[in-house]
């Protein structure tokens, strides 16, 4: 097993920081309503293989899932604990394996060195934003957030600013062929105007 490196409040904080990213919808970090968060151990298979003298590690899900990111988990070296009857998982939900290890063996390159079933700690979160439901998975070790779908920031206002700026510079470039003294101040004014318009759009959108 791997141990959880953060508690529930820490996981929520990681989600909020992720939701504040530039590609996410404006104010997603503040306005996302968390409807549920589950502390779970998800089973994966760890395969160590010798591929022409080079050790390679592969992680594959041991349970059927549609949760995002569970094909991209990374098991840190040296952090594994033996899972036996003495291990207390408390209230953490244990997801049972339903995929056989043998189903992966024939597709892996190289020669087998070591293989194990590992229970990986995750926070499984459901949240809503503007009336729509979403799901995110927080890696309980690294804090990385995975989401198959999330509210995105609209690119239309930025595109309109870019088109307007382009057309203005084309017109001013054409004007410069006739009267450079007039065109240069206009270009400077356009550059400053586009900067402040883009800044306003970024703050409001």
Strand partners, 48: 57, 114
- The pLDDT of residue 122: 96
- The pLDDT of residue 169: 74
- The pLDDT of residue 17: 95
- The pLDDT of residue 156: 55
E strand or H helix at 112: strand 111-129
Kindly report the number of other CB atoms within 10 A of residue 33's CB atom.
11
Radius of gyration of the chain (CA): 25
- The pLDDT of residue 157: 61
Global pTM value: 0.73
- The pLDDT of residue 19: 94
- Closest C-alpha among 191, 188, 117 to residue 161: 191
User: Per-block average pLDDT, block size 10, for the chain (205 residues)?
Assistant: 93 95 87 96 94 92 89 80 87 94 91 93 95 94 91 66 74 77 79 73 58
- The pLDDT of residue 79: 78
DSSP character for 32? -
């Amino acid at each position: 097993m791997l141990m959880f490196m953060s508690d529930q409040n820490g996981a929520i904080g990681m989600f909020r920081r992720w939701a504040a990213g530039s590609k996410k919808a404006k104010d997603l970090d503040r306005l996302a309503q968390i409807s549920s968060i589950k502390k779970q151990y998800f089973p994966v298979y760890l395969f160590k293989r010798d591929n022409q003298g080079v050790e390679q590690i592969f992680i594959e899900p041991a349970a059927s899932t549609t949760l995002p990111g569970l094909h991209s988990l990374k098991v840190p070296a040296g952090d594994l604990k033996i899972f036996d009857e003495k291990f207390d998982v408390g209230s953490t939900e244990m997801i049972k394996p339903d995929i056989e290890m043998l189903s992966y063996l024939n597709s892996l390159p190289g020669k087998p060195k070591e293989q194990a079933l590992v229970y990986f700690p995750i926070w499984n979160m459901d949240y809503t934003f503007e009336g729509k439901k979403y799901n995110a998975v927080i890696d309980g070790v690294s804090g990385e957030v995975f989401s198959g779908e999330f509210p995105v920031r609209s690119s239309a206002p930025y595109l309109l600013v870019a088109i307007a700026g382009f057309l203005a510079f084309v017109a001013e470039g054409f004007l410069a062929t006739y009267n450079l003294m007039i065109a240069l101040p206009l270009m400077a004014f356009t550059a400053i105007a586009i900067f402040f318009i883009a800044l306003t759009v970024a703050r409001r959108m």
